[in-house]
A and B are shown apart, each in its own frame.
Chain A
Amino acid sequence: MVEWLQALYDSFYKALVPEQRYMAYLSGLRMTLLIAVFAVLLGAIIGILVAVAKVGAKHSRNPILQVLAKICGAYTTFIRGTPALVQVMIIYNLVFTSADTNPVVVGAVCFGINSGAYVSEIIRAGIEAVPRGQMEAGRSLGFNYVQTMRYIILPQAIKNVLPALGNELIVMVKETAVVSVIAVNDLMKMAQYVGSRTWDVVPPLVIASVIYLIITVFLTHVIRFFERRLAQSDHH
């Protein structure tokens, strides 16, 4: 028993300390977080545009908007109906073929496009939860459709769905592990790298999973905190 514990300790020590291997995890973590944050930001921008186009097309007969909404519909269907791994490979090989592309940009674009589809559905639900009278009140004052969306509907819609958007960030942190397949040195990739150096694959992966877990649990608490703050401003 003692020997087994000693061996376990040795293998984790080997995966963490010599050659400053802990730095590898930290640099991987930094990459993972950068990609996740930028992916969610890009996803939020795409998501808002797609959601507004879809909701707008529902209440309008403008042919351009109808075509746009169809394209947006195809986009969300494709993204939500295919594995992220496949999407990442396609986007990477289609767009980022030159050798010196910035890995953060590659990851953020891949997952931003992926995340946008999910975020758009979240925001669409948020927009549809805002009472109809709000749009009418905005329009009756003389705001056009886009202005009413921007100043009146979207602020309320996004407030409604902030917890769901926070969850999307957590999902992104985990999902980005997929970028390790396109030579981006994220946390997952660095764990594999350490494993290849020590000839002992499992301990680095366990370390990586613990780091992922710490980040997601931490983010969950942050989101809960904001949820409580928002709930307070609702009933004064």
Chain B
Amino acid sequence: MIITKNLQKAFGDHQVLRGIDQHIEKGEKVVIIGPSGSGKSTFLRCLNLLEEPTGGEIYFDGTNVMDPNYDVNQLRQHMGMVFQQFNLFPHKTVRQNITLAPVKLKGMSQAEADKLADRLLERIGLPDKADSYPAQLSGGQQQRIAIARALAMNPKVMLFDEPTSALDPEMVGEVLELMKELAEDGMTMVVVTHEMGFAREVATRVLFIDEGVVMEENTPQEFFSHPQNERLKDFLSKVLH
């Protein structure tokens, strides 16, 4: 579904991604871990071109998305993204947050979109929050709504950029639980996270990115029980207590 070839990204002189080759299949749940500053978020943000790669190629369903004639906005409609800071629209209600994109971009009628929002809110367990504003909700609730907002566009793949890192500890569980349900429903997911438990339980493949390259990748069982790379061993010894 997504193929990257020798993907590179530099900010000025600073080379953040040094050539990443990945092949993400439909239905896969790829979890990316690595120390901060390793380039893992940059890699994720390159996939929907929020960051413009400075080298290499990205293919989505067989099309080169870095072709200047390719419609980036079309690509992004198929790739939902969830951010560390939720980024809900504070001037809109929960329902409006969810319905804005389907109505304006897909030509869905407002009534139809409202029904969709109600269904999604039911699914994420917040059916009574439709008319609330983001500021009235907890971080965990906001992040679940951010996930619903992305799902409303019926994406083919969901990108998660450290979705639980900005949450109070007691709210991490509810967001991970929702992501787990999403995975069980067969959604293709690429997740940058520090939640090793989630990686172990949900991932079909775990990547360790450091210094802008994939240092190791494996099934979660092998990845956590028999790490090969020295830096990965070092990293795991620090994060798994």
Given contacts A142-B73, A151-B100, contact A137 B83 (CB under 8 A): yes
B89 contacts A152, C-beta separation under 8 Å: yes
Determine whether the beta carbon of A134 is less than 8 Å from that of B87. Answer: yes
Specify which of B48, B80, B101 is in contact with A143 (CB 8 Å cutoff). Answer: B101
Check B175 for interface membership: any CB of A closer than 8 A. Answer: no
Contacts of A124-161 to chain B: CB distance below 8 A: 131, 133-134, 136-137, 139-144, 147, 151-152, 155-156, 159
Chain B residue nearest to A234 in the complex (CB): B135
In-complex Cβ contact of B76 among A134, A142, A151, A234 (8 A): A142
Q: Verify B101–A142 contact, CB threshold 8 A.
A: yes
Q: How many A residues touch B, CB cutoff 8 Å?
A: 20
Q: Give the residue name and chain of the A residue nearest to B133 (CB).
A: A236
Q: Which of B121-154 contact A (CB under 8 A)?
A: 133, 135-136, 146, 149-150, 153
**Distance in Å: Cβ of A226 to nearest Cβ of chain B:** 16
- Given A144-B73, A236-B133, verify A139-B89 contact (CB < 8 Å): no
A228 close to chain B: CB less than 8 A:
no
B4 at the interface (CB under 8 A from A): no
Known contacts A236-B133, A236-B135; A142 and B87 CB within 8 A of each other: no
- State in angstroms the CA–CA spacing of A156 and B90 once bound together: 8
Of the residues B77, B133, B136, contact of A142 by C-beta under 8 Å: B77
Q: Roughly how many angstroms separate A152 CA and B105 CA in the complex, as a whole number?
A: 14
Known A-B contacts A134-B89, A136-B50, A155-B91; A141 and B105 likewise in contact (beta carbons under 8 Å): yes
Q: Does A235 contact B (CB under 8 A)?
A: yes
CB < 8 Å neighbour of A140 from B50, B88, B90:
B50
User: Are A156 and B91 in contact, with the CB atoms below 8 A?
Assistant: yes
**A136 touching B104, Cβ below 8 Å:** no
Residue contact B76 to A141, C-beta cutoff 8 Å: yes
Contact among A136, A144, A235, A236 for B87, CB-based, below 8 A: A136
With the chains together, A223 CA to B188 CA distance in Å?
A: 51
B81 close to A (CB within 8 Å)? yes
Contacting residues, chain A, for B73 (C-beta < 8 A): 139, 142-144
Kindly state whether residue B237 has any CB partner on chain A within 8 Å.
no
Asked, given contacts A134-B87, A136-B83, A159-B91, whether A141 binds B135 with beta carbons under 8 Å apart, the answer is: no
Of chain B, the residue at the smallest CB distance from A236 is B136
Q: Are A139 and B76 in contact (CB under 8 A)?
A: yes
CB-CB under 8 A from A133, the residues of chain B are 83, 85, 87
Whether B74 is near chain A, meaning CB under 8 Å from some CB there, is yes
Distance to closest chain B CB from A151 (angstroms): 6
Instruction: Please state if A141 and B150 are interface contacts (CB–CB under 8 Å).
Output: yes
Which chain A positions have C-beta within 8 A of B85? 131, 133
Q: How far is the CA of A183 from the CA of B135 in the complex (A)?
A: 53
Contacts of A137 in B (CB 8 A): 81, 83, 87-89, 146
* A182 CB to nearest B CB, Å: 41
Given contact pairs A137-B81, A140-B79, A236-B136, a sample of 18 additional A-B residue pairs in the complex whose CB atoms are under 8 Å apart: A131-B87, A133-B83, A133-B87, A134-B87, A136-B83, A137-B88, A137-B89, A139-B50, A139-B73, A141-B101, A141-B105, A141-B150, A142-B74, A143-B104, A143-B105, A151-B100, A152-B89, A159-B91
The 6 closest A-B pairs by CB, nearest first: A142-B77, A137-B87, A140-B81, A133-B87, A141-B101, A142-B76
Which residues of A are interface residues toward B (Cβ below 8 A)?
131, 133-134, 136-137, 139-144, 147, 151-152, 155-156, 159, 234-236
* Residue ranges of B at the interface with A (Cβ–Cβ < 8 Å): 48, 50, 73-74, 76-77, 79-81, 83, 85, 87-91, 100-101, 104-105, 133, 135-136, 146, 149-150, 153
23 contacts between A and B (CB under 8 A): A131-B87, A134-B89, A137-B81, A137-B83, A137-B87, A137-B88, A139-B73, A140-B50, A140-B76, A140-B79, A141-B105, A141-B149, A142-B73, A142-B105, A143-B73, A143-B104, A143-B105, A144-B73, A151-B100, A152-B89, A156-B91, A235-B135, A236-B136
